[in-house]
A and B are shown apart, each in its own frame.
Chain A
Amino acid sequence: MPAPLMIAITNDLAEIEPLSQVINEFIARQQLPAKLAFELNLALDELLTNTISYGYEPGQTGQTIYVRGVLADGFIILEIEDGARAFNPLAMSEPDLDAALNERPIGGLGIYLVRQLMDEVTYQRRAGKNLLTLKKAIPEYRTKET
Chain B
Amino acid sequence: MPNPFALNTSQQDDVSVITLEGFVDAHTAPQFENAIQQAVDAGRIRIVVNCEKLNYISSAGLGVFMSFIEEVRERGGDIKICGLVPKVKHTFEILGFQDIFEMLDDQPTAVRNFQAA
Q: Chain A residues in contact with chain B, CB under 8 A?
A: 13-14, 16-17, 20-21, 35, 38, 41-42, 45-46, 49, 52-53, 97-98, 101-102, 104, 106, 109-110, 112-113, 116-117
Contacts and interface: CB of A to CB of B under 8 A. Distances in A.
A73 B101 CA distance: 40
Nearest to B94: A116
A46 B61 CA distance: 11
Interface residues of B, number: 24
Interface stretch (B23-31, B42-50, B106-114): B23-31
7 contacts: A17-B23, A17-B27, A38-B87, A97-B95, A97-B96, A98-B96, A101-B100
B67 to A, nearest CB: 6
Contact of B59 (A16, A17, A21, A109): A109
A113 B59 contact: yes
A109 B5 CA distance: 22
Nearest to B5: A17
B87 to A, nearest CB: 5
Closest 7 CB pairs of A and B: A110-B59, A13-B27, A109-B59, A49-B26, A97-B96, A106-B63, A45-B58
B48 to A, nearest CB: 19
Nearest to A112: B95
B70 A49 contact: no
Interface in B69-106: 69-70, 73, 87, 91, 94-96, 100
B6 interface: no
B65 to A, nearest CB: 10
Nearest to A116: B94
Given A49-B26, A113-B94, A106 B58 contact: no
A102 B70 CA distance: 7
A135 to B, nearest CB: 18
Nearest to B66: A106
A131 B94 CA distance: 26
B73 to A, nearest CB: 8
A14 B27 contact: yes
Contact of A20 (B5, B23, B26, B60): B23
A49 B23 CA distance: 14
